[in-house]
Amino acid sequence: MARPRKYDDDALLESLRATFFELGPGASSQELAKRAGVSEGTLFKRFGTKRKLFQQAMRMPALEEQVWMESMPLRVGKGSLEGQIADLALALMGYISEIIPIMQTVMSSGKLKPQDLRSVVGDEDVPPDIVRDRFATYFRGEIAEGRMRPCDAHTLADFVVGACLKHVHLLHHFGDLPNGDTLEQASRRFARSVVELAGVGRRGADAESARVR
C-alpha cells in the first residue's frame, strides 16, 4: 500500500530544507531533486515554481502546534514556579534553534518579496510578538495567583524572550554557552534568575514593602 501523501510531502520538504541549509538558496532544482530521490518534474508538479518550493521548504514550524505554547494557561498556579519558567524557557530555546537556520537561509536569498516572507512566517503577527504576548499572559496569571510580585508582564516577557534568543544565538554561532552550560542547564540557571527578580510572592513583597515604610 502506498504511503499517505502527507508523509511523502513531509519527507520531501525535510530533504529540500536540509539541502537549502547546506547549499543555500541558490541550490539547483537538479540537486534538490537528486538529494530528495525524485525527478525535477515531480518537484515542479508538486510546487509549481522554485520560489514556491523554497517558501514551502523554509516555512517555519507553526506556533499553534507547539505543545509548550498551548500549555501555558494550564501551567498558571501549578507546580514549582521556577520549574515552570525553566521548562518554558527550554522549550522556547528549542523552537528558536529550529527557526534560526530557516530565517538565515531565507534572508540570504535576497529574492523574496515582503509577501513571500509572510508566507514563510505563516502568521498574521510575527512569531516573536506572538510568543511575547503568550508569556505576558502567563506572567499576568502567576501575578494574579500571588506567585509573582506585580510587575509589567510585557516587559518581563520581553526580557525572557530576549534572553532565550541570546542563549541560542551564542550556541548557534559560537558553539557554546557561558559556564559551559547545555541549553537545559542554561534554562534552569536563567529560570532561577527570573524567579529571584520577579518571583517573590505577593505576601512576601507586601511584607517587604511594609518594613520599608
Question: What pLDDT, on the 0 to 100 scale, is given for residue 136?
Answer: 95
Q: What mean pLDDT do residues 76-89 have?
A: 90
Domain boundaries, the chain: 5-57, 63-206
Q: How far is CA 120 from CA 21, 44, 107, 167, 205, in A?
A: 15, 19, 11, 24, 44
Q: Which CATH class is domain 63-206?
A: mainly alpha
pLDDT at 65: 82
The pLDDT of residue 4 is above 50 = no
- The superfamily in CATH containing domain 5-57 is Homeodomain-like (1.10.10.60)
CA pair distance 201, 148, nearest whole angstrom: 5
86 CB-near residues (< 8 Å, 6+ apart): 187, 188, 190, 191, 192
pLDDT confidence bin for 124, thresholds 50/70/90:
low
Instruction: Look up residue 4 and give its three cell numbers.
Output: 499517505
CA separation for the pair 185, 179 (Å, rounded): 10
Q: What is the pLDDT of residue 135?
A: 95
Q: Using a CB cutoff of 8 Å and minimum separation of 24, what contacts does 210-213 make?
A: none
pLDDT confidence of 93, banded at 50, 70, 90? confident
Residue 137: predicted pLDDT:
96
Lookup: cell for 153: 508582564
Predicted confidence (pLDDT) at residue 146 exceeds the cutoff of 80: yes
The least confident of 49-53, 109-113, 116-120 is 116-120
- pTM, whole model, 2 decimals? 0.70
